[in-house]
Amino acid sequence: MKKTNMTQNELQELKWHLVDRIVDQMAMEDLVQYVKEDMENYMDKLSEPEFIVEAKNYWHDMYDDVVEEIKEYANCDFKKPRELRI
């Protein structure tokens, strides 16, 4: 691989600039999809206790209510396909 004529600092700035340009040119729906996939991957990598901490920190006092709603939904006869969820 050919070595660049850049310092590490310059190379890092070029990376950040490229990311900034790519993101600026993305459509909102593409950004939303990307973030959703990234968040799903992040949550999938957490251990169960780590995930529960994240969920409790997010929902605070509503955590128990959300869990009950999810249990009802997860055990119902009809569920929306994943791609139709918002």
Angstrom distance (rounded) from CA 53 to CA 65: 16
Segment 52-85, tens digit of pLDDT: 999 999 999 999 999 999 998 888 767 666 666 6
Segment 4-57, tens digit of pLDDT: 899 999 999 999 999 999 999 999 999 999 999 999 999 999 999 999 999 999
**pLDDT recorded at residue 27:** 97
pTM: 0.66
Q: What DSSP string runs through 25-68?
A: TS-HHHHHHHHHHHHHHHHHHS-HHHHHHHHHHHHGGGHHHHHH
